[in-house]
Amino acid sequence: MSIRLASLVLVCLGSAAHAQKASDAERAAALEIYRKVVSFDTSVEGVQTPAMAAYLADRFRAAGFAEQDVLVLPFARTASLAVRYRGDGTGGAALLLLAHMDVVPARREEWDRDPFTLIEDDGFFFGRGSSDNKAGVALITATFLRLRAAGFRPTRDLVLWFSGDEETTGETTMDFLANHRDWLGDVELALNSDAGGGALAPDGRPTGYTLQTAEKTYADFTLTARNPGGHSSMPRADNAIFDLVDAIERIRGFEFPVMWNDTTIASFRSTGKDVGGDDGAALLRFAQNPGDEAAAATLSRNPVYVGQLRTTCVPTMLAGGHAPNALPQTATATVNCRIFPGVAPAAVQAELQRLAGQAIAVEPLGDVHFSDSSPLRADVVAAVTAAVHARYPGVPITPAMESGATDGVFFRAAGIPSYGVSELFIRDEDLFMHGLNERNPTLSFYAGLTHWRMLIEALAGSKRASR
C-alpha cells in the first residue's frame, strides 16, 4: 500500500469511527421504499418498471428536488430514472450512483412466498429483486432523501441512474449515454450497487469483500454449417452436423492467451494465501510473476480461476437437422464467450472463425459491448475500506474482475471508471439471485444505510481527501 493510499485510508477510517448510524425513523423510511419497489413486477413479463420509476420520481420531487433534476425516460415497454443532487462545485465532476429497477421473472406457483411482496422472515427479506438489485435502489434513494433532509451539500453533483433493462438488453443505459449525455454532464466516476460485496462464512463470520473494478465482456456467437442435404439412405462425407462437430472439436482444444491486469494481480495476491494448496501457491506465483506458464496451467484446470486468466469460449446450445430421415441442411451451435477486459469482440470472432474454418459461418448473436478495467483509485479504495470496516473491522478488501456483466460496462466504455461497491454481505448458501426465494439478510440491508452514506460523504463530502 502506498503512503498516499495509507493516509487516505486512515482519514476515512477516522471518520468511520464517528459514522452516524441510521435512526429507527430512517430505517423505517428505507424499509417503506424497499417494500414498495419490490411490489412492482419489473420483469419483462410484469411491465411495471415505468410505474416504479414514476413512484420514485414522485418521492424525489416531494423531498424538494427540482423538476429539471428528476428525469424519467420512457423506453419501449420500460423506463429509467435519473436524479441530480446538486453540489457546491468545489469537488470536481459528478459522482454517479448506479442501480437497476428491472428483475428477472418470478412465478408465484414456484416460490414459497409471493415474490412481489417483501416478506421478513428468519433474518431475511424475501422477494424478487430483494438482493438483485432493488436493495440498491431503495438504499441509494433513502440515502439521497436522508442527506437532503439533513441539509447535506455535497462538494460535487451526485447523480443516480436507475436503469430499466439491465437484466435483458441494457438499451435504457445505452440510450441515456447516447442521447442524454448533456443532461448527465461531466462525471468523474461511478459507484455501482449491482456489483462487488461481501462474503460470510456458514457461521456468519465475514470472510472478505470484493471491490469490482472490471467485467468480462459477455458475447454469444453462432456457428452455422449449411449443406444441400438429401435422403438419409444416401449418406455423404459432407454433412452439416459432422462439419459443425469438427469445428467445435477444434474450439475445444484451443486456449486463448493468458492475460492479466492490475485487478487480477491484486486479487491473486490477496486471495492466494487464504486459498492454500496448489491453487493458492499458483495464485501467489502468478501475482509475483505475471504470465508464469506453470502457475497459469495449474489455475486453468480449476473452473473458478480459468476465467480470471483469459478469454473463454464454450458451446452452450445445439440445433440441427429438419427430419429424422433427411441429411441435415443446417446445423448451428451457440458459443458463449466471456472476453477479457480490453479485448475487442471482433478479435474473438475472428479467432473462432479461424478455428471453425471457412465452411462455417461465425456470427455475433446480438450486440456486444466491451470496456477495459477501471483503475484502482486510491480514494475509492479508501472510501470502500472505511465503509466496510465500519461494519466488519479488518475484513480484507480485494479488487475483483467479474465474469458476469452489469450496467458498469456501458459507463466504462463511455470513459467513466465504474466500481462495484454493493453493501451486501451474504453466505453462499443464501445467494439466490435470479433463483427461487431470493433473499437479502435484514442486517445487511439496514447496514447499507451507513455504507452508502459513508461512501458519499467520503467521495463528495466537505472533508473529502484529494486524490
**Residue 404 burial (CB count, 10 A):** 13
Region 413-435: mean pLDDT is: 93
**Domain check: are 202 and 237 in the same one?**
no
Instruction: Give the phi and the psi of residue 326 in degrees, each rounded to 5.
Output: -130, 145
* One domain for residues 201 and 273: no
How many CA atoms does the CB half-sphere of 101 hold within 13 Å? 34
C-alpha cell belonging to residue 128: 424478487
Note whether residue 66 is domain-resident. yes
* SS3 letters across 38-67: HHCCCCCCCCCHHHHHHHHHHHHHHCCCCH
pLDDT at 12: 44
Whole-number pLDDT of residue 367: 81
Distance, in Å, from the CA atom of 174 to the CA atom of 190, rounded to the nearest integer, reads 15
Kindly state whether residues 241 and 337 are assigned to the same domain. Answer: yes
CATH number for the domain that contains residue 311:
3.30.70.360
User: End of a domain among 343, 364, 385?
Assistant: 364
Residues 244 and 390 in one domain: no
Confidence band for 333, pLDDT divided at 50, 70 and 90: very high
**Spatial contact of 46 and 107, defined as CB atoms under 8 Å apart:** no
Q: Select from 307, 331, 364 the last residue of a domain.
A: 364
- Residue 66 neighbours by CB under 8 Å, 6+ apart: none
Q: 415: which residues sit within 8 A by CB, 6+ positions away?
A: none
Residue 10 belongs to some domain of the structure: yes
Q: What is the pLDDT of residues 70-98, one digit of tens each?
A: 999 999 999 999 999 999 999 999 999 99
pLDDT at 246: 97
CATH of the domain at 49: 3.40.630.10
Are residues 122 and 136 both part of a single domain? yes
Q: Which of 364, 386, 410 represents a domain boundary (last residue)?
A: 364
pLDDT tens for each residue of 377-390: 999 999 999 999 99
Contact call for residues 248 and 230 (beta carbons, < 8 A): no
Same domain, yes or no: 77 and 184? yes
Instruction: Decide which of 188 and 218 is more confident.
Output: 188
Residues 6+ apart with CB under 8 A from 309: 258, 259, 260, 264, 296, 299, 300
pLDDT at residue 20, rounded to an integer: 65
Predicted local distance difference test score (pLDDT) of residue 192: 98
The mean pLDDT value for 158-175 works out to 96
* Structural Rg of the chain based on CA atoms: 24
- Helix (H), strand (E) counts: the chain: 15, 19
What local confidence, expressed as pLDDT, does residue 66 receive? 98
Q: pLDDT class for 22, splitting at 50, 70, 90?
A: confident
Per-residue confidence (pLDDT) for residue 371, from 0 to 100: 83
- Using a 10 angstrom Cβ sphere, with 0-12 exposed, 13-18 middle and 19 or more buried, the burial of residue 140 is buried
* Residues 225 and 208 occupy one common structural domain: no
Burial-class residue 265 by CB neighbours within 10 Å (0-12, 13-18, 19+): middle
Does residue 161 sit in the same domain as residue 252? no
Q: What is the mean pLDDT of residues 231-253?
A: 96
- pLDDT(11) > 60: no
Q: What is the mean pLDDT of residues 430-435?
A: 88
* Residue 216 identity (one-letter amino acid): K
Q: How far apart are CA 69 and CA 423, in angstroms?
A: 26
Summarize pLDDT for 322-332 with one digit per residue, the tens.
999 999 999 99
Q: Which stretch of DSSP H or E encloses residue 307?
A: helix 303-309
Any domain includes 466? no
Is 465 inside a domain boundary? no
Q: Which residues pair with 80 in a beta bridge?
A: 73
Whether 282 is in a domain gets the answer yes
The answer to whether residue 290 scores a pLDDT higher than 80 is: yes
User: Is 467 among the domain residues?
Assistant: no
Structural domains of the chain, count = 2
Q: Looking at the structure, do residues 31 and 107 belong to the same domain, yes or no? A: yes
* Structural domain boundaries, residue 126: 3-214+372-460
Task: Let me know whether 261 and 341 are in one domain.
Answer: yes
- With cell 482444444, the residue in question is 253
- 196 domain residue, yes or no: yes
Beta bridge partners of 125: 120, 440
Q: According to the model, what pLDDT value does residue 3 have?
A: 33
- Average the pLDDT over 187-193 and give the result: 98
Residues 8 and 157 in one domain: yes
In 3-state terms the chain splits into helix, strand, coil percentages (rounded to 5) of 40, 25, 35
| pLDDT at residue 254 tops 60 | yes
Identify whether 124 is part of a domain: yes
Residue 19 pLDDT class (50, 70, 90 cuts): low
Pair (335, 192) in one structural domain: no
Dist. CA 29–CA 35, nearest whole Å: 10
Q: What mean pLDDT is reported for the chain?
A: 92
pLDDT in tens, 133-166: 999 999 999 999 999 999 999 999 999 999 999 9
| pLDDT value of residue 463 | 54
